[in-house]
Structure 1
């Protein structure tokens, strides 16, 4: 059984359009079959709410639900809790309990993490990516309204804060004239040499600030060919 964030081909399984725009749907699959979907809404920098859960085949509902919850945690490790309003009547209480939810005025799953979100000036963020997918920028541009809508993932290399995830949101923020966004530091340093290399690639092309990246948006096809494939080739070579 595999769990992942919904891709373009999975959108037919997603109930709410906002889950597509915000990239907040997770998928469970087994082989070639999609067997479940969970959609959620980020309420603020501490809380997310489940808005849809659906099983498409007869299987262990509790295992699928737990796996989909773990996927939310993977993509949003800064969250402190996930909530579910039982008035929606889509999730069995035993499934919630098995996943660690506790019933209060609503169902609450407390996340055990020590990740701290901090405010950061856009000018203080060092790029680690050469180009940005323009389709993703246009998508996030439709819902980003304030700096608090943006939480990016970074690593610290020497005295630099280097972004490793969230570039479409960063470019949208820059284009909207935001002076700051919010970020958290990735604590797993297994890929730190890769991030150093990405930063070096940027320096070679004189990309030192987010403003240097703002006009380097490309089509999804170009992004995959010029950036994703380059990164994958590096990672394969340095296994």
Structure 2
């Protein structure tokens, strides 16, 4: 059983610039705000990164919760070791774009094809650049 807890939705910093309209519609179809056993919603992973709490995943579910008037959501601390340096980059992009809470993503719902280009491709390119920088650093250390 996940060790989840409740947190105010507007206290969590997004790490994603856009929401896919297709993913949003899919979540809206199954989401039931009255479902108390977490069946239609699950828990959303979060992480404390550089002194603030960020969404690790679940931005679409969090936006649906926000759009239905929910003020709190069930969250769980992310325990997997992910590429936190990449998350720092994503959070910085969000801040530069004025995305400081899930509410700010309401105006950034885009068609899925655009989402793949504007978000997935941007992340993939940034990950590749980060990997190249890490390789250079490793060579310097040798």
Give the TM-score of the pair, scaled to structure 2.
0.82
Residue from 174, 184, 192 that aligns with 2:76: 184
Q: Distance in 2 between matches of 1:190 and 1:137?
A: 25
Residue from 130, 138, 160 that aligns with 2:17: 130
> Are 2:124 and 1:232 equivalent residues in the alignment?
yes
Contact conserved, 1:132 with 1:216, CA < 8 A, in 2?
Answer: yes
Task: Quote how far apart the aligned CAs of 1:117 are.
Answer: 1.2
1:138-193 CA-partner distances (Å, limit 9, x unpaired): 11111211274341122111331111211111111111001111111222344111
Q: Distance in 2 between matches of 1:180 and 1:155?
A: 16
Structure 1 residue matching 2:55: 3-state secondary structure: strand
Structure 2 residue matching 1:214: 3-state secondary structure: helix
Contact conserved, 1:154 with 1:161, CA < 8 A, in 2?
Answer: yes
Q: Distance in 2 between matches of 1:164 and 1:132?
A: 14
Higher relative contact order, chain-length normalized (CA < 8 Å, sep 6+) = 2
CA root-mean-square deviation? 1.5
Alignment partner, residue 65 of structure 2: 173
Q: Distance in 2 between matches of 1:161 and 1:150?
A: 19
**Residue ranges of structure 2 left out of the alignment (5+ in a row):** 132-142
Task: Quote how far apart the aligned CAs of 1:129 are.
Answer: 0.5
Structure 1 residue matching 2:45: 3-state secondary structure: strand
Give the TM-score of the pair, scaled to structure 1.
0.50
Q: Distance in 1 between matches of 2:126 and 2:96?
A: 17
Q: Distance in 2 between matches of 1:168 and 1:199?
A: 16
Q: Distance in 2 between matches of 1:118 and 1:141?
A: 23
Structure 1 runs of 4+ aligned residues shifted over 6 Å read none
Q: Distance in 2 between matches of 1:166 and 1:188?
A: 15
